[in-house]
């Protein structure tokens, strides 16, 4: 419609002038459709790009917490394991579970429970090292990827996360704590074995009283491997 109106104005102006510019009118007649087409094509391409980005976000992101979902998290774990294949001692994984989360849902409702999930996910995400990832592994359980960390750094980060969650205060919600199981790729032959080991240590932390971290000791043996697993409450810094 606008293009047609533009044609009409240009043709009228050219034909009513004392010296009509017929070649100019003809050139304009061909140029305007090209400009219109390129403009529409650009808008279409931009809309398609936004649509693809939205679909990609929906496919990889947990809709509640905004962190990676399990499918995308597994892909991130596989990629990180491949990158650290020659230095597996530098890749750490931690499974985190919100303590007594069922009690939160039962006492204050699932909507408030969702608020707790979002808040804890934000704390975990903010405390990651560069290149790390926080993943909604399932329910109230999160998987953290901690690349390029020494044992001391990995332990310190996890204890820091436990402390930040403990100081979290949400309206109408009792104090929240988390338990964590920590493992390094050096201890496991595959990503599945790595998450299984972190999961076993998480349950050890739960059994030891919750609100604590279970992971390999920061002491090293003669081969550079961690000594026996250690369970440490949050106030016991490694």
Q: Are the C-beta atoms of residues 117 and 65 closer than 8 Å to each other? A: yes
Pairing of strands 91-98, 141-147: antiparallel
The alpha carbon torsion through 86, 89, 91, 97 (nearest 10 deg) reads 150
Q: How far apart are CA 63 and CA 35, in angstroms?
A: 40
Catalytic residue among 140, 141, 152, 204: 140
Any catalytic annotation for residue 140? yes
Q: Where are the beta strands (DSSP E) in 89-177?
A: 91-98, 133-138, 141-147
Half-sphere exposure for 180 (CA within 13 Å, toward CB):
31
CA distance 238 to 230: 9
Strand runs labelled E in the chain = 91-98, 133-138, 141-147, 178-184, 212-216, 229-233
- Contact yes or no for 90/84 (Cβ under 8 A): yes
Catalytic positions, written as ranges:
140
């Amino acid at each position: 419609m606008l293009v047609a109106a533009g044609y009409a104005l240009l043709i009228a102006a050219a034909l009513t002038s004392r010296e009509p510019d017929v070649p100019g009118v003809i050139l304009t007649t061909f140029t305007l459709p090209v400009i219109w087409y390129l403009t529409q094509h650009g808008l279409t391409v931009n809309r398609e790009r936004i649509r693809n980005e939205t679909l990609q976000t929906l496919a990889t992101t947990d809709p509640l917490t905004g962190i990676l979902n399990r499918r995308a998290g597994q892909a991130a774990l596989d990629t990180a394991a491949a990158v650290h294949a020659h230095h597996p001692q530098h890749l750490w994984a931690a499974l985190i579970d919100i303590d007594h989360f069922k009690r939160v849902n039962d006492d204050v409702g699932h909507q408030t429970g969702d608020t707790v999930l979002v808040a804890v996910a934000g704390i975990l995400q903010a405390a990651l090292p560069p290149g790390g990832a926080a993943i909604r592994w399932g329910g109230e359980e999160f998987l953290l990827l901690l690349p390029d960390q020494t044992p001391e750094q990995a332990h310190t980060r996890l204890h820091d996360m436990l402390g930040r969650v403990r100081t979290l205060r949400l309206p109408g919600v009792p104090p929240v704590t988390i338990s964590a199981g920590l493992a390094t790729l050096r201890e496991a032959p595959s990503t599945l074995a790595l998450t299984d080991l972190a999961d076993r240590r998480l349950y050890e932390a739960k059994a030891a009283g919750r609100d604590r971290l279970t992971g390999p000791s920061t002491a090293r043996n003669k081969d550079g491997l961690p000594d026996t697993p250690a369970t440490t409450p949050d106030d016991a810094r490694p």
